[in-house]
Structure 1
């Protein structure tokens, strides 16, 4: 359990999404002209501008598989607005049980120029940091476990990561092990310790993606030690609810809601998890609060009962661009709202949005919700925000400017 420490709850007056004084870019005509094309990412950036904190990190993941999406969902490196993020992370490189770092998609990453184009962004934007994420949700745990349980493989893996960064021109690496167990607790810390030593010798940046789920982190992470060795932690404060449950729920609620009456449901919000990391020894300034540019979908058991906590029969329909079960990208959600398929609602208790249409229900963050989260970051001394992933935003300006 985390100590019941009082942290600032955000003001009910949220930042307007416009530009102020973060840097020269905040004042630039170029930025203002691009705001409308990146609703969620622009909301993160513009809120940081308005809050006038130049040191905030805005860490943006790019999913290399977005190139395979259809129509307006297709996204590639050339579509990235590099100015809007301080750190850009390319997802993903793979790994095997021998400690090798693997190219996951030879066509996209090498032949199509994914790695080269991604790192070439630094030519015109010298202040950004480009990184490679290693692992990912579909990489499993077997290879990581084999590596950290063998000192020889562990040292080989660390050397291979350094070589991979150097070969392809990245500035650092993000370790995305989903997720170590109690048995790997010490091995995970040792991996980060060895990487820290090697990265310091080469001037590289080290980060790690860590769970936003209490059950995954509570007993498996030595949070204080993990925080010690990384430059920052990307806290995946989303997927709090989904169609694996029996009722509708927000993807990334800032606070607990009236329906969160069980002991476990009280953990399923951003506020609780950020407190947990800080109270467990993580430096607040090393934490990035995760923002999901997508929503979790549900099919209602009864379309007339469509609030938060309503019974469901399963996941929502497949999205038009992604075709993935249980989630819609933000560009899909806002398009469906715009053409009248969905009606947007605001959740006053949890500072989040949801939309309904017939028997379909989706919980997600809109611009208003992101404004509250950015205010929360400032109020609680958190180091920045992380966006998963920028290719799910309204980058083609299909939806236009949101309020």
Structure 2
């Protein structure tokens, strides 16, 4: 994910979302008010696998009331942000975030079996500055917990892309210190509130982003890790390929890129000093439509002239058009569409592929599934398929 300054706001291309959105910082100085803590306090690991769904503040017509909570163990609200001094603030599109979070606050009192997590993101250098300072780390943890309590949420998710030393050389070590501080503040608040607050992180699927991390240390602070298994290929690639292949296609001409698979990412994480059941397999509810693609190999592994992000909902509408043919790759375990008439190749995940990935989670003793993001599939088809495949035993 990338961001760049643009006047008072920032125009951010969220590659994981494919959303171009103006994000401004909203400061909230109100103290956390007295809260009637709801009666579904979460104590320790629930049975079954985790099903984690990200919900972005810019979801629009897909409202908090459209979320199928009975099919989720965790709802991750995206995003809050941090200032360079460590203060955690609401990140909003226009002024929608406070209203959306207020809706979620009401829902938390009704949905007793779903954990609500506030995801705090950083796609620039603020998190690096915060992590480098003991004072800023304390302010970060304290204000994160204040926001959590204000909206009656159950945990914090950290989406720092990435604490790999690319901003400051000691980012990986400072990230450990940041999580340690946050875990301490969450435990302190949890003891006072009579519940255990959870802590997770969104993590890269690529070894170069994983290797610098002090995994053995941060594993002690984290309840689970959401591995972002998507964007393996896209508009930046040299040829059409799959957004999130489970395995490498044997005929892939770019042999070195065979590392760019869900299986490689999850097994690489499993080789780190962290419990397998803390590793959650992330999957995209969006894909890419590559343009000006020739018909050889039904558009796969071909040159192209650009690629646009498409939600699963967009892709379902394309699939309904007669000129788009459906294909399934038996090695990669993902589908694609190709239109010779439009010269368009579409890579995406469907019900079949997310169920395959869910079974892979079950067969490999991983901790569950995550999606980015729920509003890309307003029909809730894909989250329903994941739930069916994992058969979460804690649900009604």
Which bracket does the TM-score occupy, shorter chain normalised? Answer: 0.7 to 0.9
Q: Are 1:63 and 2:45 counterparts?
A: no
Change (3 A) 1:168 1:56: same
Q: Are 1:153 and 2:146 counterparts?
A: no
Aligned to 1:257, which of 234, 241, 249? 249
Q: 2:271 is matched with which residue?
A: 279
**Does the CA contact (< 8 Å) of 1:259 and 1:309 recur in 2?**
no
Q: 2:356 is matched with which residue?
A: 372
1:299 and 1:126 map into 2 onto residues whose CA distance is 45
Runs of 4 or more consecutive aligned structure 1 residues displaced over 3 Å after TM superposition: 259-264, 303-307
Q: 1:48 is matched with which residue?
A: none
Change (3 A) 1:173 1:287: same
**Does the CA contact (< 8 Å) of 1:64 and 1:76 recur in 2?**
no
Q: Are 1:82 and 2:69 counterparts?
A: yes
* SS, match of residue 336 in structure 2: strand
Change (3 A) 1:341 1:92: farther
1:83 and 1:200 map into 2 onto residues whose CA distance is 27
Superposition map of 1:7-26 within 5 A: none
Q: 2:335 is matched with which residue?
A: 353
Change (3 A) 1:56 1:149: same
**Tell me, which stretches of 5 or more residues in structure 2 are unaligned?**
1-45, 191-195, 386-396
**Does the CA contact (< 8 Å) of 2:238 and 2:303 recur in 1?**
yes
Q: 2:311 is matched with which residue?
A: 329
* SS, match of residue 109 in structure 2: helix
Pairs aligned (count)? 324
Deviation at 1:54, TM superposition (A): 4.8
**Does the CA contact (< 8 Å) of 1:255 and 1:349 recur in 2?**
yes
Aligned to 1:175, which of 137, 144, 158? 158
Superposition map of 1:86-125 within 5 A: 86-105=73-92, 107-110=95-98, 113-125=99-111
CA RMSD of aligned residues (A): 1.9
Range with greater deviation from structure 2 (363-372 or 338-347): 338-347
2:128 and 2:144 map into 1 onto residues whose CA distance is 16
Q: Are 1:191 and 2:178 counterparts?
A: yes
Q: 1:46 is matched with which residue?
A: none
Higher share in helix: 1
**Does the CA contact (< 8 Å) of 1:60 and 1:89 recur in 2?**
yes
* SS, match of residue 339 in structure 1: coil
Deviation at 1:260, TM superposition (A): 4.1
1:163-190 Cα shifts (integer Å, max 9, x gaps): 1111222111100001122321101111
1:263 and 1:339 map into 2 onto residues whose CA distance is 34
> Which has the bigger relative contact order, CA under 8 A and spacing at least 6?
1
2:253 and 2:319 map into 1 onto residues whose CA distance is 31
**Tell me, which stretches of 5 or more residues in structure 1 are unaligned?**
1-52, 68-73, 316-325
